Structure formats: C-alpha cells, structure tokens
Amino acid sequence: MTENLIQQQIVMWFNNNFCLKHHENRNVIFAVPNGGSRNKIEAITLKRTGTLAGVSDLIVIMQGIVIFVEVKTEYGKLSDRQISFKKRVEKLGHTYIIVRSLKEFQEKIVVNTK
C-alpha cells in the first residue's frame, strides 16, 4: 500500500470516528503538502513563505496535545531532513510518531492521548 493510501485511511478514520467517539470537542487533523514537484519559482516562494523540508505528513491537534505523524510504507525510512525535524519537535516536548498502517495509527493515537 502507498503512503498516500495509508494517509487517506488515517484522515478518514480520524475525522469520521475518533473525534466523534472519544471527545466532546472536535479535534483537528491536517496534512502538510510539502512534497511534489515544483518549478524553481514555486519552490523559492514556498520556502520564503514558511515551507519547511522534513515536516511530518500529518499534524493532529487535540485538547492540550499536538502529535506529528509521519506516514511510511512497510519499508520506508525517514530522510535526514525528517530525522532533523523529528528531533526538533521532540526537543520542544511534542510527540512525533511514525506509522505504517491505519491500525498502527489507531494504536499509537490512543496511547498518546491518555
């Protein structure tokens, strides 16, 4: 399964089930579209306006909790920029998780919200 398909499953599940079953207030999950091909002008503009290489694929915001989620395939690994971002986030006291399936996301999101 591709990263995109895993990510789609995660977002759909979170929006349709997790928020509604476990919390009174609506939580937030969103993607950071850093990838893709860009021409040189677009790349410069994106960088100047705050795009940061290595940012996690998804960010989950709940009451008092921010979780950065990197989606990988079964054998995918973090790039050097992703490792650097992970270290920065964790140093600031936030949670960063790597998931390879919807099931793994479900398990980790429940553990990190207790």
pTM: 0.86
Which CATH number belongs to the domain containing residue 80 in this structure? 3.40.1350.10
Note the pLDDT tens digit of each residue in 12-49.
Answer: 999 887 666 555 667 889 998 776 667 888 878 878 88
**All residues at 6 or more sequence positions from 78 whose CB lies less than 8 Å from its CB, including other chains:** 70, 72, 86, 98
* Domain range enclosing 21: 3-111
Q: Report the C-alpha gap between 25 and 94 in whole angstroms.
A: 21
Given a contact cutoff of 8 angstroms between Cβ atoms, the answer to whether 4 and 73 are in contact is no
Using DSSP bridges, classify how beta strands 95-99 and 65-71 pair: parallel, antiparallel or unpaired.
parallel
Note the pLDDT tens digit of each residue in 69-100.
Answer: 999 999 999 999 999 999 999 999 999 999 99
| C-alpha dihedral, 32 to 65 to 23 to 17, nearest 10° | 30
Note the pLDDT tens digit of each residue in 58-76.
Answer: 999 988 899 999 999 999 9
**How many domains does the chain divide into?**
1
